[in-house]
Amino acid sequence: MFQIVYREEMAEGTVVLNEVMAPGIAAKAKPGQFVMIRANEEGERIPLTMAETNQEKGTITIIYQIVGKSTALFKTLKEGDSYLDIIGPLGRPTRIEKTGRVTCVGGGTGVAVIYPITKGYKEAGNEVTAIIGARTKDLLILEDKMRAASDNLRVCTDDGSYGHHGFVTDVLKEILEGEGTDLVVAIGPVAMMKFTCELTKQYKVKTVVSLNPIMVDGTGMCGCCRVTVGGRTRFACVDGPEFDGHEVDFNELTHRLQAYVNDERVSYKSFLKGSKC
Amino acid sequence: MVEKEKKGKIPRQPMPEQNPKARARNFDEVPLGYSEEVAMLEATRCLQCKNPTCMAGCPVDIDIPAFIARIKEGEFASAIAKIKEKNVLPAVCGRVCPQEMQCEKTCVLAKKGEPVAIGRLERFSADWERAQGKVSTPKKEPSTGKRVAVVGSGPSGLTVAGDLILKGHDVTVFEAFQVPGGVLVYGIPEFRLPKAIVAAEVDYMKKLGVKFECDKVVGATVSVDELFEEGFDAVYIGVGAGLPIFMHIPGENLIGVYSANEYLTRSNLMKAYLFPEFDTPIIRGKDVVVFGAGNVAMDAARTAVRLGADRVRIIYRRSREEMPARIEEIHHAEQEDVEFILLAAPLNFIGDENGRLTGVRCQRMELGEPDESGRRRPVPVEGSEFEVACDTAVIAIGAGPNPLLTSATRDIRLSKRGYIIVDPETGKTIKKGVWAGGDIVTGQATVILAMGAGRKVANSIHKYLTLGW
Ligand SMILES: Cc1cc2nc3c(=O)[nH]c(=O)nc-3n(C[C@H](O)[C@H](O)[C@H](O)COP(=O)(O)OP(=O)(O)OC[C@H]3O[C@@H](n4cnc5c(N)ncnc54)[C@H](O)[C@@H]3O)c2cc1C
Ligand SMILES: Cc1cc2nc3c(=O)[nH]c(=O)nc-3n(C[C@H](O)[C@H](O)[C@H](O)COP(=O)(O)OP(=O)(O)OC[C@H]3O[C@@H](n4cnc5c(N)ncnc54)[C@H](O)[C@@H]3O)c2cc1C
Ligand code: SF4
Ligand code: SF4
Ligand code: FES
């Protein structure tokens, strides 16, 4: 069983952090990898990135945004409670190399996903600028950790309540026009990744994105997670989740993420009804 | 329900089944099983041949006349004991073996078109034992202190585990999914093989002392070399052929197009047919098409029926004679109003502005010269394009080897198509202490062939652990 040893709420309770005992996975996980996770017998297997791992303690840390039934159910788990299944580490690790100047762009919960990658690039000797954004100040996560993990942190909020007033792409554009960068890593909502890639394409700067299609097994046996990259069908769980953003068909991904919207609504609603006491 | 002797000859006893109208609305098992009375009557049909040709058709050499003779006498406990000498999964094989291609094909009575119902009798024996509530466990050899890791808990892995635990070795099965059973739990639907039966077989293994470690993806969570470092003396790779094959035609990524693996995994393993009681959803299409005509295609089509489709059509590029599914399954599908569009192949899928499937464009085929498989090759007919409206499509045209483990394991040899190459006599790979078998060696085959491979490997591993490589 995978026990929660530490729990924290962030972004006004819309995001939850769990540090979970999973020594076998912690021993092997590398930045960019994810786990498939399930809370109970009736539960869905959902993919979550490991934001941090601690080999000595044998723990992994997941940070998830509450968007539907499964994540809402996870939120009800307390310290001392356990997940039923955690499978990993899955996916290809980020290929961290010494490239020079690297810009890591994280939006929303994507900040949790980009955090270990940012740390990895810095440890590999790159000069790392991080840009993180959220709708409003109170929804911003991991600011301190991201500051420590990078050489230079830029913060944006859509409503201007904190940091730069505007989108992460505005700040990225400044950098692209100014000092420049050798590589961009962008992780967040699909729309954010799409706009980031449209921007960096103009400046011919290589851009890596981490895709979040719906998954079932996470080991390459179902094809549910297929995405089109460079005109070819790839399985995000084994060929990714990271891909060259300039090659990704983001419109297809946006569509495919909508596959079960109606069912998800049914599921979430009945959960909210049941859990209200 | 006993079909009485007419002119001194007893006909092959039919299998009582759920009525097609009722069963199309539920996921309960379709064939209901023989009663004791019918089983004993059917058993009297066996001629107890001196030279039982039926046995040549069984890949695991069950002593067929012997177990049938015991059923005839009403000695059911001893019948199942006889079967279990050779087969660790009789309740499964009695249900899913393609008997018409195996034991029943070579039964002498098959010539007259009415072979002894060997599979049904095997199923009867296993079900009888389970219903008694006390499952006999055979005697175990004293512990050898040797440790064996079995990777994959499909029928081949379970056979290796079951055989080696009895020989006194310490066996741990590693499974990527959350429950053991392989295709028996994620692929073959409940209405053909109830999951409680697979669970009972796994429990029986546990009772024998086999350890199961689920949620362990070998090649990701732990590598084969690390298994040796952890103290295992031998490793068996039985990971199956779990890679979905797509057709690589335009529109294949539209919402509503599934691989059979995804469709069946959602429904069976994740219990999407019980949504929203279970959280995993599945598209309950009104108009479903399935490509392919093997057992997998029949399972997908019959699942779609039960999920509430108005119309389910199987589209196959060859003719009826070439359909690889078991005859019984084709028959069941037809009874459940699944339609067949034969000699047709898809050209592209069509979708709406939201990326959802609305139809598929197909082309007629005709049969030309035989290809390397000996079957006549389908050739497209020019100008014969037609469209089939559908909101769900399931691609069931085969499966390949999943490279997750094999690409992470250096020093084993793979064929061009990615299957593991082994010594056919022993199942040994070229890596010391590592064996492989089942679908990851042969490509998708049958439960009983995977078990046959497991049996051979278990003997070879035992020899290695007692005598050396
Ligand atoms: C490799 C990978 C890593 C991820 N890492 C994180 C992370 O670190 N933190 C985080 O908050 N989120 C992460 N996600 C997204 C997360 O998996 C989904 O938010 C989650 O599955 C939603 O489940 P739900 O039941 O709460 O919501 P639902 O109501 O099921 O769905 C809400 C939306 O989430 C998406 N979704 C639904 N089911 C799945 C599924 N099985 N797999 C993927 N997406 C799905 C769909 O777009 C859906 O419309 C990651 C996704 C992937 C593929
Ligand atoms: C839908 C369907 C219907 C079928 N119907 C029939 C039928 O009616 N009759 C018949 O005889 N045959 C049938 N077959 C074929 C039969 O099921 C297979 O030939 C048989 O199951 C193969 O057994 P196996 O042990 O080689 O592998 P599998 O049963 O495929 O089991 C392999 C197991 O290994 C696990 N695994 C994979 N990779 C890893 C890893 N890296 N680490 C740990 N575990 C891993 C998988 O999760 C799986 O549980 C059917 C197949 C399908 C898909
Ligand atoms: S295991 Fe299969 S082939 Fe062998 S006797 Fe039983 S049904 Fe026939
Ligand atoms: S061949 Fe047929 S009749 Fe003869 S022993 Fe076997 S099952 Fe009985
Ligand atoms: S999630 Fe099944 S193949 Fe990627």
Residue to substitute in B60, B87, B156, B183 for testing ligand 2 pocket (most ligand atoms within 8 angstroms of CB): B183
Asked if A234 has any chain B CB less than 8 Å from its own CB, the reply is no
Asked if A67 has any chain B CB less than 8 Å from its own CB, the reply is no
- B8 pLDDT band, cuts 50/70/90, is low
- B7 pLDDT band, cuts 50/70/90, is very low
- Give CA angle at A90 (A10, A200), nearest 5°: 70
Give the CATH superfamily of A2-88.
Translation factors (2.40.30.10)
Which residues neighbour B94 within 8 Å (Cβ) at sequence distance 6 or greater?
Answer: B119, B120, B121, B122, B123, B124, B125, B126, B127
Cβ atoms of B158 and B201 within 8 Å: the answer is yes
Q: What is the 3-state secondary structure (H, E, C) of B71-105?
A: HHCCCHHHHHHHHHCCCCCHHHHHHHCCHHHCHHH
Q: pLDDT value at position B373?
A: 79
Please indicate whether residue A18, judged by its CB atom, sits closer than 6 Å to ligand 1: no
Please indicate whether residue A235, judged by its CB atom, sits closer than 6 Å to ligand 5: yes
Asked if A124 has any chain B CB less than 8 Å from its own CB, the reply is no
Domain B147-242+400-467 belongs in CATH node 3.50.50.60: yes
Tell me which DSSP letter residue A162 carries.
S
Does B259 contact A88 at a Cβ distance shorter than 8 Å?
Answer: no
Torsional class of A110: left (φ above 0), alpha (ψ -120 to 50), beta (otherwise) = alpha
Residue scoring higher pLDDT (B371 or A96): A96
Average pLDDT (A5-20) is: 94
DSSP output for B286-326: SEEEEE--SHHHHHHHHHHHHTT-SEEEEEESS-GGG--S-
Residue B2 confidence (pLDDT) above 60:
no
Which atom of ligand 1 is nearest to A47's Cα?
17
Which residues neighbour B42 within 8 Å (Cβ) at sequence distance 6 or greater?
Answer: B10, B12, B13, B34, B116, B117, B120, B121
Interface test with A, best of B175, B218, B221 (most A CBs within 10 A): B221
Convert the pLDDT of each residue in B303-338 to its tens digit: 999 999 999 999 999 999 889 998 889 999 999 999
Q: How far apart are CA B241 and CA A220, in angstroms?
A: 11
Average pLDDT (B369-389) is: 90
Convert the pLDDT of each residue in A104-121 to its tens digit: 999 988 999 999 999 999
Residues in chain B within 8 Å Cβ distance of A258: 255, 354-355
Across the interface, of A24, A222, A260, the residue whose CB is closest to B222 is: A24
The CATH number of B2-132 is 1.10.1060.10
A 239-268 residues with CB < 8 A to B? 251-252, 255-256, 258-260, 263-264, 266-267
Asked if B276 has any chain A CB less than 8 Å from its own CB, the reply is yes
The CATH number of B246-397 is 3.50.50.60
DSSP output for A227-240: EEETTEEEEHHHH-
Convert the pLDDT of each residue in B234-281 to its tens digit: 999 999 999 999 999 999 999 999 999 999 999 999 999 999 999 999
Packed helices B155-166 and B447-467: angle between N→C axes, nearest 10 degrees: 40
* Residue B247: how many other CB atoms lie within 10 Å: 17
Mean pLDDT value across chain A: 93
Does A42 contact B217 at a Cβ distance shorter than 8 Å?
Answer: no
Q: What is the pTM of this model?
A: 0.94
Structure tokens at A178: 């100014």
Average pLDDT (A121-126) is: 92
Residue whose entry in the numeric block shows the structure tokens 């490239």: A99
Convert the pLDDT of each residue in B391-430 to its tens digit: 999 999 999 999 999 988 889 999 999 999 999 999 999 9
Convert the pLDDT of each residue in B185-241 to its tens digit: 999 999 999 999 999 999 989 999 999 999 999 999 999 999 999 999 999 999 999
Residue B372 confidence (pLDDT) above 90:
no
Share of chain A above pLDDT 90, in %: 81
Task: Label the pairing between strands A82-83 and A59-65.
Answer: unpaired
Q: pLDDT value at position A275?
A: 66
Residue B1 confidence (pLDDT) above 60:
no
Cβ atoms of A210 and A196 within 8 Å: the answer is no
The kind and range of the H/E element at B350 are strand B344-351
Residues of each domain in chain B carrying CATH 1.10.1060.10: 2-132
Does B403 contact A223 at a Cβ distance shorter than 8 Å?
Answer: no
Please indicate whether residue A73, judged by its CB atom, sits closer than 6 Å to ligand 1: no
Strands in A15-21's sheet, in edge-to-edge order, are A82-83, A2-10, A15-21, A59-65, A46-54, A34-38, A85-90
Does A222 contact B265 at a Cβ distance shorter than 8 Å?
Answer: yes
Task: Label the pairing between strands B376-380 and B357-370.
Answer: antiparallel
Domain boundaries, chain A: 2-88, 101-258
Which residues neighbour B96 within 8 Å (Cβ) at sequence distance 6 or greater?
Answer: B188, B192, B193, B446, B447
Structure tokens at B276: 């929203």
Please indicate whether residue A250, judged by its CB atom, sits closer than 6 Å to ligand 1: no
Nearest-CA residue for atom 2 of ligand 5? A222
Residues of each domain in chain B carrying CATH 3.50.50.60: 147-242+400-467, 246-397
Asked if B113 has any chain A CB less than 8 Å from its own CB, the reply is no
Q: How far apart are CA A3 and CA A23, in angstroms?
A: 11
Q: How far apart are CA A206 and CA B63, in angstroms?
A: 66
Q: pLDDT value at position B138?
A: 77
Tell me which DSSP letter residue B269 carries.
I
Q: pLDDT value at position B440?
A: 97
Closest CA to A149 of A188, A185, A201: A185
For the A101-258 domain, the top CATH level (class) is alpha beta
C-alpha gyration radius of chain B: 23
Residue B80 confidence (pLDDT) above 60:
yes
Average pLDDT (B142-163) is: 95
